[in-house]
Amino acid sequence: MTDYGVTADGFVLKPVDVILSESFDRARAAFPGADLTSTSALRKILETAAAEDGELWKRLEDLYYANFLSTAVGDALDLLGEDTGLERASLASTGTVSVTLDDGVQGRSYVLPQGAVLVTADPVRAFGTVAPVVLDQGTPTADVGVVAFEPGPGGDVDADTITGIDPTYRSVYLADFGPADFDVTNRAATSGGTKDEPDATYRGRLLGIARNLWTVEAVAQAALRVAGVLDVVLSDPLGGVDVSQSYFDLFNFDQRAFSSERRVGQPYFFTVVVAHDFRWPWHTTGPVPGIFERVSTAVDAVRPIGIHANIVEADHIEVGVRATLVIAPGSDGVALLSSVRRRLATDIAALRLGGDVLYAQVVSAFVEQPGVLDVQGLHLRRAPAAFGRITFGDVPFQRVLAEGAVGENLVMGPTELATFVVDGNAFDVTVVTG
């Protein structure tokens, strides 16, 4: 006999046919000789009741699985998040702005880079551009997408509210523009700030939440809660077994733990390497709080007295490809390249610190496009790493653009994050017709 309801294997839903069969048995016991043929009134009543009971069983199944983080959805997942102390995060507002060049010099191009900080009037709301904008006298106007730095409904602003480039950002990053300037406006309102992150994202954060105050997981979790942080790596040189440390295997393990002993009252530092979204500045710029300051504040909330965090920026390695793309006659080469760029941007954005760029993954981004016959001479590229920025581990340093052999993966160091710039110079693909 099958058990239904809550069992050792979870909740087992009772099917409607079983509910109806049990109803027939009870009817025969209560009314011997009752007519239960397909045309009888009693059967129609029992079938209607069985259908309603089937819906009740479905509701009971939903209520059972609403008690677990791995299976709860919607409001039930929100309630579990409240019990855990981690609320569902809001999404960032998005929109489009029009950028116009003023007082440009004839023959010169002006580039407004990705992540440029655009602001509204008081109260100030800051937005970052999602792509570079290149303007000159021949093309003085262009549209570009923007994303609010701070998630939530505050980023939903009306049309013609975004007024220009933040003065602090301009003085630091656009000082060589001279008298040239950009006029910025949003013809339509920005939207999306009232929406919340989907269940899958929220569930992943809840399942990964640390239950102890001072652990590596708790510190990483505090840093990952900061908007704009993609991944973190912690180095705790005195906090565990680390065979790369020079003092490993030099202790009497029957007298102390697997780590070096810290003197009472002596300050102790650990390192937090942070990879972040390119739109967020590392240090506070104008109205936009920097990743460094916000991660420091978040980690300070979970660190004990006398233990301090050294927050350092990860090496963001721009990757690209060099190849020859063979397409079918009649195919649009420009459109195919655009599709390949978008695919690579999506795939590489899913990588985390230390994640290698696989050759097969890049090949798939090419050959899975309709109209592509072959990709030949494919070499993966990486831009130079910033030397001496990471305080632990070996970070390769190249003075020129490094290019791997055909079939070779791009191996990232533990403190390196692979990034793909859609309009980057590392992407060099020649299109030929097969």
Has residue 416 got a pLDDT over 60?
Answer: yes
Q: Which residue has the higher pLDDT, 421 or 131?
A: 131
> How far, in Å, CA of 272 to CA of 312, rounded?
6
Q: Which residue has the higher pLDDT, 50 or 240?
A: 50
> How far, in Å, CA of 128 to CA of 291, rounded?
14
Has residue 349 got a pLDDT over 90?
Answer: no
What is the pLDDT confidence band of residue 385, given thresholds at 50, 70 and 90? Answer: very low
Per-residue confidence (pLDDT) for residue 131, from 0 to 100: 86
> How far, in Å, CA of 275 to CA of 350, rounded?
13
Per-residue confidence (pLDDT) for residue 386, from 0 to 100: 41
Per-residue confidence (pLDDT) for residue 242, from 0 to 100: 41
Per-residue confidence (pLDDT) for residue 186, from 0 to 100: 92
> How far, in Å, CA of 79 to CA of 201, rounded?
16
Q: What is the mean pLDDT of residues 260-286?
A: 76
Has residue 239 got a pLDDT over 50?
Answer: no
Q: Which of 31-40, 153-162, 232-241 has the lowest mean pLDDT?
A: 232-241
Residue with tokens 């970070």: 395
Has residue 245 got a pLDDT over 50?
Answer: no
Q: What is the mean pLDDT of residues 134-143?
A: 90
- For the segment 13-70, what is each residue's pLDDT rounded down to a tens digit? 889 989 999 899 898 888 888 888 888 898 899 999 999 999 999 999 888 988 888 8
The answer for residues whose C-beta is within 8 angstroms of residue 200's C-beta and 6 or more apart is: none
Per-residue confidence (pLDDT) for residue 430, from 0 to 100: 92
Per-residue confidence (pLDDT) for residue 412, from 0 to 100: 87
Has residue 268 got a pLDDT over 60?
Answer: yes
Buried b (16+ CB within 10 A) or exposed e, 280-313: bbeeebbbbbbbbebbbebbeebbeeebebebbb
Per-residue confidence (pLDDT) for residue 210, from 0 to 100: 65
Domains of the chain plus CATH, in order, are 5-65 (no CATH), 94-185 (no CATH), 210-313 (3.30.70), 315-433 (no CATH)
Do 92 and 145 form a contact (C-beta atoms < 8 A)? no
Q: Would you state the structure tokens that stand for residue 290, as one six-digit string?
A: 């920097």
Per-residue confidence (pLDDT) for residue 398, from 0 to 100: 41
Q: Would you state the structure tokens that stand for residue 300, as one six-digit string?
A: 């300070």
* Average pLDDT across the chain, whole number: 82
Has residue 387 got a pLDDT over 70?
Answer: no
What is the pLDDT confidence band of residue 114, given thresholds at 50, 70 and 90? Answer: confident
pTM for this one?
0.63
Q: What is the 3-state secondary structure (H, E, C) of 15-69?
A: CHHHHHHHHHHHHHHHCCCCCCCCCCHHHHHHHHHHHHHHHHHHHHHHHHHCCCC
Nearest residue to 173 (alpha-carbon basis) of 101, 131, 111, 119: 111
Which one-letter DSSP state was computed for residue 219? H
Per-residue confidence (pLDDT) for residue 117, from 0 to 100: 92
Q: In what order do the strands lie in the sheet with 268-276?
A: 229-235, 268-276, 307-313
- Residue 333, judged by CB atoms within 10 A of its CB (0-12, 13-18, 19+), counts as middle
Has residue 202 got a pLDDT over 80?
Answer: yes
